[in-house]
Amino acid sequence: MRRDVRNLNHVFEPDSIAVIGGSPATGKLGHVVLKNIMDASFQGKVYPVNPKYREVLGLRCYPDVHSIPGKVDLAVFAIPAEHIPSVMEQCGRKGVKGAIVLSAGFGEIGRKDLDEKLSKAVKKYGIAMIGPNCLGALDPSKRLDTLFFPFYKLGRPRIGEISFATQSGAVGSCIVDMAAHFGVGFAKFASYGNALTIDDADLVEYFGSDPRTRQIILYLEGTKDGRKLFEVMKKVGKKKPVIVLKAGKTAGASQAAMSHTGNIAGNYTAYQAAFRQSRVIEANSLAELFHVVNAFSQPLPKGRRVAVLTDGGGLGVLSADAIEAEGLQLAQLSSETEKVIREVLPQYGKVGNPIDLIADSGPEEYRKALDALLADPNVDSIIVIVLFQAPALDSSILDIVISASDQRKKPIFAVAVGGDYTAESRKVWDRYGIPSYDSPDFAVRALKKFTEYSLLSQKKK
């Protein structure tokens, strides 16, 4: 691992931060970033740097980096691009090992001269630099927040085990906001923008060695070194799931990606081949990205056999269609499971898979059926579909599904279709690590990718 990549720990876990361009003017980037760092309750030292002011947001402001009396681990840049190379040189002499350059105006608009000057300064001192032209970085467990979107507009995710690298700040901000909304936790987040020195592969490599990261998400438009990225994904993918959302698949989108961050999107077919060979899981949309990510909170399935448990027969039929369409299998229930289901169902009920508990079944019927499915050797995964609108069900069904999931015997995916009450109920499952979906199709597609990853992992062992 290169020296600057190792120094990413100074980006994500600094003890001190200098905000270059810190400002009291509310419309300035340097004001928003400095305020976010403080509002996140960062526990280390914070130093605004701006020769125009003696104090910013109650903190002493320094005219330059050299005037700061203590050590600086991380420098966050919110000043015009033409000034950044010289200030980066000052940071290097000061001993700064991490940098985040939020400012745009570099290679993405043709300023290759600024790219060269900045790259030279960074490499000279081994500084781990995120950017330029990026959104910033997060580490919730360290209360590090250098994003330049205010808290009231952009939610922040809780502490978790997912680390996310994104080429696009816009897409990254949407995913961060969605993660906060759905209660999904992050270990680390970085928007790497133009990736002048630290690129996609470097971040995946760093996340792969990070003990607090169990899953890696990568939003990718293009890459400067496809071979390097492929080799890193192949190495990291052996020990942690890497989930990629690839944009820039068409000619028009590729051109947009080039003008956006200065990176060529490249041939999508080549990316697909690289993903397959490196065990990367590709998501096809923002929604599917979250669907797949949530799946990894569950134990890996041992096979393709799926049991569907529901109190809404039509939703079970839709699930069966999706299971067959996606190449999974409806499990053949054991005789012991069929006996339990027969006792649970009313006389007119029919035993089969999908298991239709009928709309007047209550939480206790769900509990007995789930226990039987968890013990059934013919079942690899379980999809539980709950019709919250049914009068026989109450909130205890949430605890029953959570208790079944907590046994960690088999993956359990939950589906609930409906309005506000249903959506709020699903959030409870999400917070307890149970992947939940508002459509059987979404659940089955996520389960397919999850299962394929599991089977490939078993084959590689």
For 251-287, the pLDDT digits (tens) are: 544 444 444 444 545 578 888 888 888 889 999 888 8
Average pLDDT over residues 367-383: 97
Q: What is the pLDDT of residue 260?
A: 45
Q: What is the pLDDT of residue 132?
A: 97
User: Is 438 a residue whose pLDDT tops 60?
Assistant: yes
Identify which of 76, 82, 172 has the alpha carbon closest to the alpha carbon of residue 118: 82
**Euclidean distance between CA atoms 251 and 259, whole angstroms:** 13
Q: What is the pLDDT of residue 312?
A: 84
Which of 227-241, 255-269, 378-392 bottoms out in mean pLDDT, i.e. has the lowest?
255-269
Average pLDDT over residues 218-240: 91
Sign of CA dihedral 414, 417, 421, 424: positive
Q: What is the pLDDT of residue 11?
A: 98
At 250, the pLDDT band (50, 70, 90 cuts) reads: low
Which of 25-39, 200-214, 333-347, 363-377 bottoms out in mean pLDDT, i.e. has the lowest?
333-347
Q: What SS3 class is residue 280?
A: coil
Q: Count CA atoms within 13 Å of residue 280 on its CB side.
A: 30
Average pLDDT over residues 42-46: 97
Q: What is the pLDDT of residue 460?
A: 65
With a CB cutoff of 8 Å and minimum separation 6, the contacts of 370 are 309, 382, 384, 400, 401, 404, 412
Average pLDDT over residues 294-298: 90
For 312-356, the pLDDT digits (tens) are: 889 999 999 999 999 999 999 999 999 999 988 877 777 899 999
Domains (range + CATH), the chain? 1-133 (3.40.50.720), 154-296 (3.40.50.261), 305-460 (3.40.50.261)
Q: What is the pLDDT of residue 148?
A: 92
User: Of all residues in the chain, what percent are helix, strand and coil, respectively (each to 5)?
Assistant: 45, 20, 40
Which of 46-60, 64-78, 416-430 bottoms out in mean pLDDT, i.e. has the lowest?
416-430
At 461, the pLDDT band (50, 70, 90 cuts) reads: low
User: Is 446 a residue whose pLDDT tops 90?
Assistant: yes
With a CB cutoff of 8 Å and minimum separation 6, the contacts of 251 are none
Whether the predicted model's global pTM rises above the 0.85 cut = yes
For 150-170, the pLDDT digits (tens) are: 998 999 999 999 999 999 999
User: Is 361 a residue whose pLDDT tops 80?
Assistant: no
The total of other beta-carbon atoms located within 10 Å of residue 152's CB is: 7
Average pLDDT score, the chain: 92
> H-type helices in 251-301, by residue range?
251-261, 268-277, 286-295
Cα angle 185, 191, 194; round to 5:
165
Higher pLDDT, 440 or 250: 440
**Euclidean distance between CA atoms 367 and 18, whole angstroms:** 55
